[in-house]
Amino acid sequence: MPAAAGQTLFQAYKPGTIRLQALGLGDVLDGAITSIRFNPKTMIGMSVVVLALFLVPSAALSAGAIGVLRGQSMALEDLLVFASLAGAAGVAVFGQVATVMLTGLLIHVVGEGVLGRKPGLGDTWRATRGRLLPLIGLNLLLGLAFLLASVATLGPGLLLLARTDRTGAGVLLLLLGAAALLVLWLFVGVKTMLAGPALVLERIGVASALRRSWSLVRGAFWRLLGISVLSAVLVGVVSYILQLPFSLASSILLGITGTGNESGLFGAAFANHLSALLAGAVTTPFMAAVVGLLYIDRRIRLEALDLVLVRAAQGGPA
């Protein structure tokens, strides 16, 4: 068969959520949305379950913080600030852990969706539960690396501000350190963004997944960075829109009950967690699908994975 005819055949073949070909920006974004629509029960349902499991203890901690601080005869304005910070911190910490687990679970669903398969919640859990600990280990390792980089880049400026009266030099050093940290974070973030999909879908170890991601990203750094930033902006806008009604409801509730009323503070904390659950149930599957499709795209471009996927979609050995 001539190469052109073969290319046309594979480009026309779409067993699931995407055409089995190299993916452009529109293909990735459309494929991410199609992945959610193709199997919403698992994509959104699993997100709701996992996020709820992690946000319940976060809500309990927020409620406990409000109760403790209320008993300290704290000024009403300070109480409101601390209660808001406690709720935001709980959502950030527990939500991040839930997102890490969800990404691994949902990448499996995205990969199956490319082949036209719709795994259920039980099927997905059985297929990915052995990958969760390595996935958490991968993210802890990256988090530790970021922490050390933060100390190395921001530490000198903070020390200069704390121990001397050279405020101008300290601020300048701190700004330079923050810029260096941002550049380093973007570089390492893009270079390692495909480690999660490789770890889950190829069932390799943490070190091998990092090397695999570094290799797949080579030659496509700026493209992957641009798509990632654009996806993050879209997710931020959607998340803001979804959480806006809850923020307004929380403000109205506090306005009616007053900041010194515990029921109003508890209601505001509950609204904060409920909005995080709703936004995360929509945005986390989208971001997981984007990363998963970028991983598949790089393997199609570098390793002719489309040929393997065609065979697997038709029932042959993958």
**Which percentage of the chain shows pLDDT scores above 70?**
77
**Which percentage of the chain shows pLDDT scores above 90?**
36
Length of the chain: 318
Residue of higher predicted confidence among 235 and 268: 235
Can you tell me the distance from the alpha carbon of 90 to that of 56, in angstroms, rounded to the nearest whole number?
10
Tell me the average pLDDT across 21-27.
Answer: 91
Residue 15 pLDDT exceeds 60: yes
- For the chain, give the mean pLDDT: 81
Which pLDDT score is estimated for 94?
65
- What is the pTM for the complete model shown? 0.82
Which pLDDT score is estimated for 247?
76
Tell me the average pLDDT across 216-225.
Answer: 95
Residue 104 pLDDT exceeds 50: yes
Vertex 131: Cα angle to 126 and 136 (nearest 5) = 130
Residue-wise pLDDT tens digits, 138-162: 988 988 898 899 999 988 888 888 7
- Runs of H (alpha helix) within the chain: 3-12, 25-38, 40-70, 76-114, 121-128, 132-163, 167-191, 195-201, 206-217, 221-257, 262-303, 305-313
Which pLDDT score is estimated for 3?
41
pLDDT-based confidence at residue 314 (cuts at 50, 70, 90): confident
Residue 133: exposure state from Cβ atoms within 10 A (0-12, 13-18, ≥19): exposed
Residue of higher predicted confidence among 34 and 1: 34
Residue 248 pLDDT exceeds 90: no
pLDDT-based confidence at residue 2 (cuts at 50, 70, 90): very low
Residue 259 pLDDT exceeds 60: no
Residue 68 pLDDT exceeds 80: no
Nearest of 203, 187, 198 to residue 153 by alpha carbon: 187
Which pLDDT score is estimated for 48?
87
Which pLDDT score is estimated for 9?
46
pLDDT-based confidence at residue 164 (cuts at 50, 70, 90): low
Which pLDDT score is estimated for 79?
56
pLDDT-based confidence at residue 69 (cuts at 50, 70, 90): low
Residue-wise pLDDT tens digits, 38-60: 999 999 998 888 888 877 777 77
Residue 242 pLDDT exceeds 70: yes
Residue of higher predicted confidence among 59 and 257: 59
Tell me the average pLDDT across 165-181.
Answer: 85
Q: Residue 105 in contact with residue 297, Cβ under 8 Å? A: no
Residue 84 pLDDT exceeds 50: yes
Nearest of 86, 118, 89, 99 to residue 53 by alpha carbon: 99
Residue 275 pLDDT exceeds 60: yes
Which pLDDT score is estimated for 261?
57
